[in-house]
Amino acid sequence: MSNPARCKTHFIEQFEKRAWETIERFDLIQEGERICVAASGGKDSLALLHILSKKYAVDALSVDEGIPGYRDSTLDDLREYCADNRVNLRIVSFEDLGAEPLYKQNPAHPCSACGVLRRKALLDYTIEYDLVATGHNLDDEAQSIMMNLLRNQQHLLARLGPRTAARDGVAARIKPFYLTPEKEIRAYCILQGITSNFSECPNIVKSFRWQVQEALNTLEREQPGSKLNIVEEFLSRTYTEEESNLRCQECGGPSSSSLCRACQIIHAS
Amino acid sequence: MNVFIERTKEEKTLSFSGTAQALLESLGINPETVLVLKNEVLVTEDEQLEDNDEIKILTVISGG
């Protein structure tokens, strides 16, 4: 850790306090709302399950993309955590969606195809919930903002933020770690004895996100507070995206054309 | 000093005495991306490390 002033007890207290303050600041959870945690079994989702379980009844949903040698170990951590803490866990695979596992698809842009199918899985399997909580953290959000700016896709900024509104048949998405640095999440897991084995997706080095992540970590080291400044600047502005009422003719999910990207991938695989 | 680097799964034996920050700099690792365990205990960057310590450098970035 970089802050030497905090002992273990105070670090844990401050870490959890920031998550609760984020939930309060952005009005993320209302009493009685049914919450599903989108869990990969990595440090972010395990820490999120750990904290939310202190105040709320939560279930967990995980998506197995089918990347040999990658997801297996984090799913084992997730199964163990959920069994030990009596959290209901559901694991769905790309095959459950009607698609081939990612390694068989072998797409030119694996992160893009993977992301589309993961989002579809979350849509299809969280219908009975009011909220889907994700472990997205400060680093993730700063990266997403910069990726959209660097690609001049400013209309997509409207989809970011600590809470995305529920739409017809789609649960709201919330990010309680929105203002929490990624580094502190791993430290929290270690100090709480939460097992989270590091497992790296073999496709990550092909991604634009990877490049932005490297650049931001270099910048943060030289100019501490840069990531938080990016996110707070984003929050000070209002971004809007023209609402599309189109629905996919195949699955009925939200889409910008007659067939959503997920169904296009499923048909092609 | 034995050093395990989680991300690359490398194990190194070094002769080193200095802070955790200095160790990371000597290995070319950005401290923003890792945590350091000294003899299985999480330490801060200003922690003094000695030759007989067992060091683990754990990555904090998401794996995908």
pLDDT digits (tens, 9 = 90+) for A2-56: 554 568 889 999 999 999 999 999 999 999 999 999 998 889 999 999 999 999 9
Structure confidence at residue A71 (pLDDT): 79
Taking contacts as CB-CB distances below 8 angstroms, the residues of chain A near B42 are 1, 8, 187, 190-191
Q: Which of the two residues, A199 and B48, has the higher pLDDT score?
A: B48
Q: Which residues have CB under 8 Å from A201's CB, separation 6+?
A: A67, A70, B63, B64
ipTM: 0.94
The answer to whether B5 contacts chain A (CB < 8 Å) is: no
The two beta strands, A58-64 and A35-38, are parallel
Name the residue among B31, B60, B63 with its Cβ closest to that of A201.
B63
How many CB atoms neighbour CB B34 within 10 A?
22
Alpha carbons A133 and A163: distance in angstroms, whole number? 9
Structure confidence at residue B63 (pLDDT): 60
Which pTM does this prediction carry? 0.88
What are A30-44's pLDDT values in tens digits?
999 999 999 988 899
Q: How confident is the model at residue A1 (pLDDT cuts 50, 70, 90)?
A: low
Is the pLDDT assigned to residue B10 strictly greater than 90?
A: yes
Q: How confident is the model at residue A119 (pLDDT cuts 50, 70, 90)?
A: confident
Mean pLDDT over residues A191-196, rounded? 86
What are A55-105's pLDDT values in tens digits?
999 999 999 888 777 777 788 889 999 999 999 999 999 889 888 777 776
Taking contacts as CB-CB distances below 8 angstroms, the residues of chain A near B62 are 42, 44, 139-140, 182
Chain B contacts in chain A segment 187-206 (CB below 8 A): 187, 190-191, 198-201, 203-204
Instruction: Say if CB A205 and CB A213 are below 8 A apart.
Output: no
Taking contacts as CB-CB distances below 8 angstroms, the residues of chain B near A201 are 63-64
Alpha carbons A187 and A12: distance in angstroms, whole number? 9
Q: Return the bridge partners of A60, or none.
A: A37, A89
